[in-house]
Amino acid sequence: MLITSLLPLLSRYSLGFDLVAGPDGTVTLTVIPRKAVGAKSNPEAGEVRPISITATAAEIDEELAKGEDGALGQLIAVRKGLGDQIAEQRAAAEATKAPAKSKKAEPAKAAPAPAASSEPSAAPKPGEPTSLWDD
């Protein structure tokens, strides 16, 4: 059941395992995801964080027998989903960068000059007092 439970991770990562027997009859199983050989992108730190389960051997076997419905299967599904989202975001970010890089820098356009008005200026002529009732 262990390998079947880990197949979703194996499609994306190389996996390492660590088994440690505890003093009280427990076992700690640690699954360590790593970048797969030939992978195009580097996984994020959260994607390759080790997964540890500590329980009795029988409890671990029982949990693994649940497959995708067990805690390990659900955790793997969540990580796979997050990994897919990260890959999509990276692809979208690269897609937005590509058009910007391919366009040549266009010269800045000068601001248009204000249009000349046929109406008289509201500013008073030199020597004339300002009025509160100017139109």
Higher-confidence residue of 104 and 126: namely: 126
Provide the whole-model pTM. 0.55
Structure tokens at 11: 């499609």
Amino acid 8: pLDDT = 73
Q: Could you give the domains of the chain? A: 2-101 (3.30.160)
What would the two tokens of residue 58 be? Answer: 């029988």
Report the alpha-carbon distance of residue 80 to residue 5 in Å, rounded. Answer: 13
Task: Pick the more confident residue, 86 or 99.
Answer: 86
62, 52 Cβ separation under 8 angstroms? no
Query: Any residues with CB less than 8 A from the CB of 86 and at least 6 apart, and which?
Result: 44, 47
- pLDDT tens sequence across 29-40: 998 888 877 777
Q: Residues of the chain with pLDDT > 70: what percent?
A: 72
Token pair listed for 1:
């059941």
Distance between CA atoms of residues 17 and 28, nearest Å: 10
